Amino acid sequence: MSVTTDLNQTWEEKTQRESCFAARAALENCTSVVDETLQRIQEIVDSGHFDTIPSDLKQALNRWWNIYKAAKQSFVADPELIEIYQWRP
């Protein structure tokens, strides 16, 4: 191999590592936002202030909320994802 080849390979590896950690940071942020949102929605539901909301709207909002709850359950069921999420240098 030439020095140029070594440099190109090292640069590519560096780029991929940086992309890996950028993706991890974005997914960590997304997970945190989902967690905060689920908690906030639960607080709203617990308040009981849905008496005057039309049933079809309430059901649609609940289906939307259930999608996020299912995503959260899928995430916490995967030990490797939890390990990546909790990892700190």
Query: What DSSP character marks residue 48?
Result: T
- Write the pLDDT tens digit of every residue in 33-74: 999 999 999 999 999 888 889 999 999 999 999 999 999 999
Q: Is the entire prediction scored with pTM above 0.95?
A: no
Entry field: residues in the chain: 89
Is it the case that residue 85 has pLDDT exceeding 80? yes
Q: Nearest 5°: CA angle at 68, between 56 and 78?
A: 150
DSSP calls for 51-85? TTS-HHHHHHHHHHHHHHHHHHHHHHT-HHHHHHH
